[in-house]
Amino acid sequence: MSRPIIGVIGNHYHAEGRFATQQVGEKNLRAVADVAEAMPLAFAGDPAITDIQELLQVVDGILLTGARANVHPSRFNAEPHPMHEPYDEARDAVALPLIEACVALGVPLFGICRGFQEMNVMGGGSLHPEIRELPGRINHRMPRLDNGEIHPDPAVIFADRHAVKLTSGGVFANILGREDITVNSLHGQGILVIGDRIEVEGIAEDGTIEAIRFRHAGGFALGVQWHAEYDPQTNPVNRALFQAFGQAVRDFRANR
* Active-site residue list: 113, 227, 229
Around 125, how many Cα atoms within 13 Å sit in the side-chain half-sphere?
24
- State the Cα–Cα distance between residues 153 and 146, nearest whole angstrom: 14
Beta-carbon count within 10 A of 142 CB: 18
- State the Cα–Cα distance between residues 105 and 125, nearest whole angstrom: 21
What's 35-67 look like in SS3?
Answer: CCCCEEEEECCCCCCCCHHHHHHHCCEEEECCC
> Given the DSSP bridges, would you call strands 39-43 and 5-9 parallel, antiparallel or unpaired?
parallel
- Closest to 42 measured CA to CA, from 34, 125, 81, 27: 27
CA 24 remoteness from chain centre: 13
CA angle 96, 2, 67 (to 5 degrees): 30
- Closest to 137 measured CA to CA, from 209, 194, 81, 68: 209
Beta-carbon count within 10 A of 45 CB: 27
